[in-house]
Structure 1
Amino acid sequence: MKNPVPSDVRYHAQSNEPTKLAFVDNRAASERSFLTGTLASTLMVDKSPLDPGAFLASNLQAELTARGIAAQVGPGQDGAFPRIDLKTFRILNHRQNGFSPYVTFTYISADVETATGKKRLGVFVKRGKVPVWSFEEIIEPTLNQPLSLAVKELAAKIGRQLYGASADDAAVASLKAKIAQRNDNSFIDVYALGFTNNPNAVETLVGLTRDDDEYVRIAAISSLGNLRAEGQFELLKSIYGSANIWQDRAMAIKAIGDLDTSESKAFLTEQMAHWKGKASDKDSSKEANWTMQVIGLYL
């Protein structure tokens, strides 16, 4: 594994006084196994086993710094503000057989706490790759890329929540032009558009939710949530209710969780109850369990 390369798009912040940002790893014992699923593995960074909390804190610091936010991320206590209270940081992998993709689901759930209260932030990234010649082929697309995206998404949400931070219109225009050129990693640029925290990206993202490229499409769906595009709630519900493949539905319910409105929270609660009733059904238990894990990031 390798540490993510920080973003090159900087933010303008409403408040950017130097801040100590306490990072508290409060993952429960049941959340401490980092990579689980079909194939158990130990991830190594710099020749040492990956320490999830330290990995996230150090790379969050690097991302915030690269974005131009003067926050110092470090160890803290429950009484320190502002604080990142980490609840979940893990990867679930799945592979049906030797001819199917190796798929990873990367999850983060954390509370951003200030003296005035707390807000729950969730992150969910899905990636998959069929290894052709060597299993090492899965490292970049299913481990390095989603971990990089997860760190960047969390940093973008913290930047907006604590500092009112967003990229300018020129950065949005540049990303739109880059996406229009298309390459194998265009989905990463679509995610980056959502990480701008700039509402001028919404219209382009709405169009990309119908894209033929699976990863461009789910990046666009996810990004509508990252931007808290409350006006797209009905679109997200429509995708969730009618999409043909699970990852589109899962990303739609994740984006609904990101909207953080009373209406979206009620919808999540309703869907959690629905899927709990399906968890023991042989034909739907996999989708039920996977979907509940996404919803659980926000509840």
Structure 2
Amino acid sequence: MDSVRKTIKGLKLAGLIAATLLVQACASNFTFQVEVDDPEPSTQHYVSSDQDTPTSLAFSHQIPGDQVSAKGGVLNYVYQQDKKNIDPATFFLGALSNELEARKLPVTFDDSASNQLQLLSFETISHRNNGFSPLVMIAMVKIDLVENGQKHRIAAIVKRAKVPIWTVTEEPLVEATINQPQEILIKEVAAKINLALFNDQLTDSDVDTLIKDVKANVENEDIAYQKVYELGFSNNPKALPALLEFSKHNAEYIRLAAISGMGMLGGEGVFEELKALYTSGNQWQDRAVALKAIGDIQTTEALDFLKTEQAKWSDKTTQEVTWNKKIVALYLD
């Protein structure tokens, strides 16, 4: 009899969860407040082959105050700390300053500096098909770094998805789809500032440790994929063979992290590999991240490729095209 009661109770609970999720999915729009963490800075720092020249940057932004941080057709999120809405630009600058310091990059922010760091956009796409599907979050940032009159476009995207167990604001969901992507975005921006200003690297020993950590944790994708991103941020060619290997991995986030880093690390030498990944990728996210990595190459040929793809989508309105347009716009607009 007890087992029957437990079964009935379990069925009722399952039905309640399903009904709640269905209501969430069917409603026209929900906005949630979620507590987010400060991004954790890197633990490995870059090493210079010469003497880096300290650089001051004037920070500016085009981010509306009090904006919705993640926007979607059904679910919107406002990021908070201590139950107060964060100011996205202030949040970004604080996290970036901490990351630059952790990487031992001699960058300071000074409103009177002639060189500039312009934050053009900092947002997340939120998407969910129904109450039983994963919550997809695509975090994006677009920046112009202006140094001695030369403009460097810095852009990054991170795609994560997770199925909620109880609610769309539960802590594991926020950690996987908001906290981790924000941390990766900040680290990628710092890595690209390094590329533009200093060209410092992680040591060969650091790269070897990261590769070993990925392989030791390959069954724990949540740990391994973040280490793969670190390889892409290393600016050390020693990491490229590992990225090429991991770009074929069965685990989605290990694979995406590897593809993402290929353009930064391999440059025009991996252009053909990235085009092949874009044209033959079985999943949208593989093709999308390959586009992003092509944008990171920053050569005329790579940017012309993005323009050609953008032109093909001019009269299309599918979900994939809509998202691809946003990704390509990070580099072209």
Q: TM-score by structure 1 length?
A: 0.93
Aligned residues of 2:263 and 2:271 also touching (Cα < 8 A): no
| Residue in 1 that maps onto 2:83 | 47
Is the deviation greater in 35-44 or in 137-146? 35-44
The answer as to 2:167 corresponding to 1:122 is no
State which of 200, 221, 224 in structure 2 corresponds to 1:186: 224
| Residue in 1 that maps onto 2:8 | none
Structure 1's unaligned 5+ residue stretches are 280-284
Shift of 1:116: 3.5
1:114-145 per-residue CA deviation (whole Å, 9 max, x = no partner) reads 11411111100000000113431310000000
The structure number with the bigger radius of gyration is: 2
The answer as to 2:243 corresponding to 1:209 is no
How many angstroms apart in 1 are the aligned matches of 2:115 and 2:242? 33
The answer as to 2:315 corresponding to 1:256 is no
How many angstroms apart in 2 are the aligned matches of 1:41 and 1:30? 15
Amino acid at match of 1:192: E
How many angstroms apart in 2 are the aligned matches of 1:245 and 1:73? 40
**4+ residue stretches of structure 1 with deviation over 6 A?**
none
Aligned residues of 2:115 and 2:148 also touching (Cα < 8 A): yes
The answer as to 2:274 corresponding to 1:236 is yes
Shift of 1:229: 2.8
* Number of matched pairs: 290
How many angstroms apart in 1 are the aligned matches of 2:305 and 2:68? 30
Counterpart secondary structure, 2:313: helix
Of all paired residues, the percent bearing the same amino acid is 38
The answer as to 2:125 corresponding to 1:89 is no
How many angstroms apart in 1 are the aligned matches of 2:65 and 2:97? 26
The answer as to 2:325 corresponding to 1:292 is yes
1:79-107 per-residue CA deviation (whole Å, 9 max, x = no partner) reads x4321111111011000111110110001
| Residue in 1 that maps onto 2:175 | 140
How many angstroms apart in 2 are the aligned matches of 1:15 and 1:128? 42
How many angstroms apart in 2 are the aligned matches of 1:273 and 1:83? 31
Q: CA RMSD in A?
A: 1.7
Matches within 5 A, 1:9-88: 9-13=44-48, 14-27=50-63, 33-37=68-72, 38-74=74-110, 76=111, 80-88=113-121
The answer as to 2:304 corresponding to 1:271 is no
Going from structure 1 to structure 2, the CA distance change for 1:72 and 1:120 (only over 3 Å counts) comes to same
Structure number with higher relative contact order (C-alpha < 8 Å, ≥ 6 residues apart): 1
Shift of 1:228: 4.4
| Residue in 2 that maps onto 1:153 | 188
Counterpart secondary structure, 2:78: coil
How many angstroms apart in 1 are the aligned matches of 2:141 and 2:102? 21
The answer as to 2:169 corresponding to 1:169 is no
| Residue in 2 that maps onto 1:246 | 284
Counterpart secondary structure, 2:132: coil
Shift of 1:26: 2.8
Going from structure 1 to structure 2, the CA distance change for 1:90 and 1:15 (only over 3 Å counts) comes to farther
Amino acid at match of 1:61: S
How many angstroms apart in 1 are the aligned matches of 2:104 and 2:91? 20
How many angstroms apart in 1 are the aligned matches of 2:280 and 2:51? 41
Counterpart secondary structure, 2:76: coil
Amino acid at match of 2:248: R
Q: TM-score by structure 2 length?
A: 0.83
Counterpart secondary structure, 1:212: coil
Counterpart secondary structure, 2:43: coil
Counterpart secondary structure, 1:40: strand
Structure 2's unaligned 5+ residue stretches are 1-35
Is the deviation greater in 204-213 or in 110-119? 110-119
